Structure 1
Amino acid sequence: MKLEIKNELVFAFLISAALAGAVLMDDRSSVRVVLGLLSVLFLPGYALVAAMFPQKEDLDGIERLALAFGLSIVVVPILGFLLNYTPWGISPYPVLLALLAFTTVMSAAALYRRSKIPAGLRFKMPVAFKWPGFAGMGWVDRALFTALAGAVLFTAGSIYHVAATPVTGEQFTEFYILSPGGKAGGYPSKITAGAETEVTLGIVNNEYRPVSYSAEIVIDGRLEKKLAPVDLSHGEKWESRVTFSAVEPQNNVKVEFLLYLDGESAPYRSLHLWVNAV
C-alpha cells in the first residue's frame, strides 16, 4: 500500500527545531551530527524546491531530491556570506538561526502555494515508492543520480572532516602589565630608590596546548627576581601583583619583564617600563 504525507514540511521544521535544541544543550552525540547534515545539506534546498514547485507533476522524485541537495549546497554559503556582513558574523548560533529562518519561511511559502491549487494536483511525499533500480533508469536519470550521490558523499565527508578536526587558530600568548590601579595605562614613571613598586603582570594562554611559563624581572640588565612557574591550559588566564625596586637614584631606568615558554633559554615575550628612581 502506498501512503502519502500531506505536509512533510512540518517534519523539516521539527528537524531544524531538534537541531537547535541539540546545539543549545551542547549535545555532541551522533544524533546532532545527523540532524546537522540534514539541516545543512537537504532541508533548505528541499523547502525552496517545495516553494518553487508545489504541484506533483512539476518534478519527479529523483529531480526533487537532486535539486534539494544541489540548492542546499548553494543556499548555505550565500547565507554565510550575508551573515559575514552583519554584527553577528559567522558563528554557530547566527548560522543556526539563519538556516532555521530560511527553512521555515520557504516551508510556509510552499504550504501557502499548495493551498492555492486543487488538492489533487498538490505534491504529496510518498512514504514508500517503487524504486525502479539503477538498471531501469534512463541514461539521464543515471547520470543525475550518480552526480547527486557523488556530490552528497563528498559534501558529507567534507563536513565530517571539518567537524572532527580540532579548530586551531593563531597560536600566541598574551603578556601584559597593568598599573597599580589595574588599568592598561598610568604606569609608574617615578619611583623611590630602595622601595618596592607594584604592578600587575598578566598571561593568557592562546597556544592551543598546555604551557609552562616562567618570568623574570630585569632592571638595567640586572636580574631583579624570578617568578614561580605558571602552568596554564589553553584559554586559561593568570594575573598576579609583582614588585620591583631600584638600588639607587637614577634616571631612565629600564625595567624589563621577560616571559619564557616551557623552560626555553630565550625570552618568548618581553615588556618594559622606563622609570626615574629618586
Structure 2
Amino acid sequence: MEKAKPAGWKGYWDLITIIALSLLLDLLIFYFPESLARKALGLAFVLFFPGYAFVTALFPEKKELDNLERLALSFGLSIAIVPLIGLGLNYTPWGIRLTPILVSLTVFNVLFALAAIYRRANAINPWVPWITVERLKEELEWEEASRLDKALTVILIIAIISSIATLGYVITHPKPGEKFTEFYILGPGGKAADYPTELFVGENGTVIIGIANHEYRNVTYHVEVWLVNLTYNTTTNETLIHNMYFMDYLNVTLPHKPVDIEGNWTPQWERNYTFSIDKPGKWQLWFLLFKDEKPYLPEPINGDYAPTNATWRILEAINGTVQSLKLNIEVREI
C-alpha cells in the first residue's frame, strides 16, 4: 500500500508549532517574566504540549485513535509526564527549580515532536489535525444525534470552554501571597553573628539594620531605637521597665519587592547603625518597626520615658504585637 505522505510543512504544522512555542516560552520567561503571554503559554506548555507530542509520536496512524481520544490522552499524559520529570530532577544536582524544569520540558517537547514528525512522515495513513466545522460535526456524530444528545453536547462543550477559561484566569491572575515585612539586624560583618553584646562605657558598637517590603504596596517604615533596663517579676508575671531611653529614629519608604524563591536572596534596604551607651549595667537595645504612621511619643521625664505611657511600645514588642528586634548588651566601666 502506498503511503499517504503529508503535503509539505502543513502536514506537520501542529508539531512545528509546539517546537516554536516551547522555544518562545523560554525567551518570554527570561526576558518578559511578568507578561500575560508567558502565563497563558506556560499553561499549554505544562498541561498539553508534553502529552500531545508523546501521543503523536506513539500513534502516528489515523486509524489508531480518534480525535477525542487523542485530545483526552494529551491532557492526561501531560499531567503524568510533568510530575515524573520533576521527580527525576529531584535526584539530580539541579533539583526542582525553574530553569531545570524549563529546560527538561523543552527538551522533552522538542525531542518527541521531532520523533512524531519522523513517524508521521513514514506512516501509511498519517493523522494530521485540521479542524473544520464539517470534521467537528463528523467527530461528534452530529447528524445522527438526537436533540437531547445535541443539547448535552453543546452544554458539555460550553462547560469545557468555561473550565479552561476559569483555569487560565486563575493562573494568569494569581491571588497575592502572604503579606509580610522582613526586619533583621546583622553583625558588622553582614552575618547573623558577632553582635556587639559586651561594650565599655562610651565604646561604639555597630550593627546592620535591614528591611524588605513584601506587603504588595508601598510602605513607609519607622524604626525606633530604644535603650531599656527591665526585669520580669515571676511572681506576678509582670514586666517592670525601670529605664527607657530614646536612642534614634530612622524612616524609609520602600516599594513592594516580590519574594524570589528561585534566585539568591538580596537585601532591599540596609543601613549601618553605630551606637554607644554611656551608662554601665545590663541593657536591652530594642529596634521597633512601625508601618505607615509614626506613633505618638510623649515628653520624657528627665530624659527617661519609663514613667510615661511610651512603655506600651516595649510591652507590645515583648508580646509580639509590635515587630521588633532586641540585643542584650552588658556595658562595663572602663
Match of 1:269 in 2: 324
Between the aligned partners of 1:41 and 1:229, the Cα distance in structure 2 is 47
Q: Amino acid of the residue matched to residue 216 of structure 1?
A: E
In the other structure, the counterpart of 1:226 is 248
Q: Assess, with a 3 A threshold, how the Cα gap between structure 1 residues 138 and 57 changes in structure 2: closer, same or farther.
A: farther
Q: What does residue 135 of structure 2 align with?
A: 131
Where does residue 171 of structure 1 map in the other structure?
Answer: 179
Which one of 162, 167, 171 corresponds to residue 158 of structure 1?
167
Q: Does 1:43 align with 2:52?
A: no
Shift of 1:194: 3.4
Q: How far apart, CA to CA, are the structure 2 residues paired with 1:19 and 1:30?
A: 11
Q: State the 1:85 CA deviation.
A: 6.0
**Is residue 237 from structure 1 mapped to residue 268 from structure 2 by the alignment?**
yes
The 1-side partners of 2:61 and 2:218 are apart by 59
Distance 2:167 2:95 in 1: 22
1:111 paired with 2:117, answer: yes
1:25 aligns with 2:31: yes
Relative to the length of structure 2, the TM-score reads: 0.67
- Whether 2:159 is the aligned partner of 1:180: answer no
Offset of residue 53 of structure 1: 0.9
Distance of 2:95 and 2:145 partners within structure 1:
45
In the alignment, the residues of structure 2 paired with residue 79 and residue 146 of structure 1 have an alpha-carbon distance, to the nearest angstrom, of 35
Q: How high is the sequence identity, in percent, across the aligned residues? A: 35
1:145 and 1:36 mapped to 2: Cα distance? Answer: 28
Higher gyration radius (CA): 2
Three-state SS of the structure 2 residue aligned to 1:6 is helix
Classify the secondary structure of the residue corresponding to 1:257: strand
CA–CA distance in structure 2, aligned partners of residues 246 and 186 of structure 1? 18
Going from structure 1 to structure 2, the CA distance change for 1:13 and 1:177 (only over 3 Å counts) comes to: same
What is the deviation of 1:247?
Answer: 2.8
Matched AA of 1:260: F
Task: Report if aligned partners of 2:36, 2:172 keep a CA contact under 8 Å in 1.
Answer: no
Q: Give the total of aligned pairs.
A: 271
Report the alpha carbon displacement of residue 82 of structure 1 after superposing the two structures with TM: 5.0
Deviation per residue, 1:150-195 (Å, 9 max, x gap): 4464244213212212441x43332222333443222223323234
SS state at 1:216 partner: strand
Counterpart secondary structure, 1:247: coil
Q: Is the CA contact 1:253–1:277 (under 8 Å) kept in the aligned structure 2?
A: no
Instruction: Show the counterpart of 2:60.
Output: 54
Q: For the aligned residues, what is the CA RMSD? A: 3.4
Deviations 1:203-242 (A, max 9, x none): 2223333222222222224223231322222237222222
Aligned residue type for 1:58: E
